[in-house]
Amino acid sequence: MAKKGKAPGLTGAPINPQAVTGKMTAAELIDTAFLAYNGRRLRDACRLFTEKMLEPDVTVGISVTGALTPAGLGMSCLIPLIENGFVDWMVSTGANLYHDTHFGIGLKMFQGSADTDDVALREAGVVRIYDIFFDYRVLLSTDSFFRELARADEFQHPMSTAEFHYRAGRYVAEREKVLKLNRRSLLAAAYRHGMPIYTSSPGDSSIGMNLALLEVEGYQLRIDPLADVNETASIVYAAKKAGGRSAVFILGGGSPKNFVLQTEPQIQEVMGVAEKGHDYFLQVTDARPDTGGLSGATPSEAVSWGKIDPNQLPDSVVCYVDSTVALPLITAYALARRKPRKLRRLYEKRDVMMQLLADSYEKVRRQRHKRGEA
C-alpha cells in the first residue's frame, strides 16, 4: 500500500491556468500560461534572468549570434537592456555590429518574403537575409563609413575589439545626432553607457574585411584578439574577487558562446588562479546537444571544463526557442519585474580590472617558481 502524502513528482504546482485575455501584459502571460515544455523553459529563463541574474552583485555578460540586429532586436531589446543596466558586457559576432551600424548611420532594411527569387534580387541589387531585404548600396555605404573612421589617427595602434567598438561607437553616436535619429544603434548605446563589446572572431565580418584592407593600405590599426581574452577574463575575475557573482546570457551559440564562457578556464586552467566558474547560465538556442556542436552544449557539460560552478548548476536554464521569439519576451519580462540597475560602465574600468588579474597571476607565478614548476 502506498504511503500517505503526495507521490514523488506530484509536489509541484497544479496546472490550472486562468484564461488568456487581451488585457494581459507579456509578463503576466508568461507567468500564467507558460506552464510546460519549452514554454515552461522560457518562463524559467525569464525568472532566472530577472530574479537572480539581475541582483545588484551579479555582473552579466551576454553573447549574441544569429542575425539579430538586422531583425531589429538591437533597437527593440538589446539597447533597452543596456540602458537599464541589465547587461554589463557583450561578445557579439562582427556581423551583428556591422548590420547594426546601418541603422545608426541612417540606412534602411525592409521586411520581405523568403520565397522571393534570389536571381531577380541579385539583378535588382537587393541583398537578402532570409526575409530581411536591403539595397546593396547599404553595404557599400557602411563599408565606406568604417574605412573612413578607421583611418583617423586615434585608431592607428594595436587595440582590443572593445576599444575599437567603443571608438567606432562614438562616430555612430555622432552620426545619429546629426541625422536626428534616436536609439538606433547598439554600438552607439554601448559607447554612451560605457559597456564593452567584444568580437571573438574579428576578421569574420565585413568590419574585419574593411580593416584588413586598411592594413594593405599601410595603416597601423591592428586588432588584438589576445587582449580580448585577457580583458574578458579580468571582467569576470574582478566581479568574483569583489565578492560578487558572474552570469552569462547566451543567445544562440557558436564562437561568442565559447568566448564568454572561456573566461573561467582562462583564469583557472591557463593562469592557475583559483576560481570556481560562472554562477548563472542562461542560453536560448535551437541547437541539439547530441551533435557535438558547441551551440547545443549543455551547462552540465560546461561544468566539466570549469566554465560553470557545479554548485550553481540548478541556476542554469537552456531554452530551446528561436532567439527572435525569446529575447523580446525575456526583455519585456525583465523590464516589467525589475527596476533599472546602476550602470557598471566596465569599459572605463578595464585597466583596473586587468591590473587586478595580473597581480593575482604574478602571485601564482612566484609560487610556481618556488616549487620549481614551469
List active site positions. Answer: 307
The dihedral sign for the CA sequence 202, 204, 206, 208: positive
Pick from 221, 217, 278: which is nearest to 59 by CA?
A: 278
- Which helix (H) or strand (E) segment holds residue 63: the answer is strand 58-64
57, 30 Cβ separation under 8 angstroms: no
Cα(127)–Cα(137) distance, integer angstroms: 9
Helix axes 225-241, 161-178, angle to 10 degrees: 90
Q: Give the DSSP letter string of 291-325.
A: G--GGG--HHHHHHTTSB-GGGGGGEEEE-S-HHH
Pairing of strands 58-64, 245-251: parallel
Cα(101)–Cα(314) distance, integer angstroms: 38
- Report CA 7 to chain centroid distance, whole Å: 42
| Residue 53 neighbours by CB distance under 10 Å | 26
Q: How far is CA 170 from CA 18, 158, 324, in A?
A: 48, 18, 28
The dihedral sign for the CA sequence 62, 68, 74, 78: negative
Q: Among all chains, which residue has been given the C-alpha cell 607565478? A: 365
Pairing of strands 245-251, 280-284: parallel
The dihedral sign for the CA sequence 180, 182, 187, 188: positive
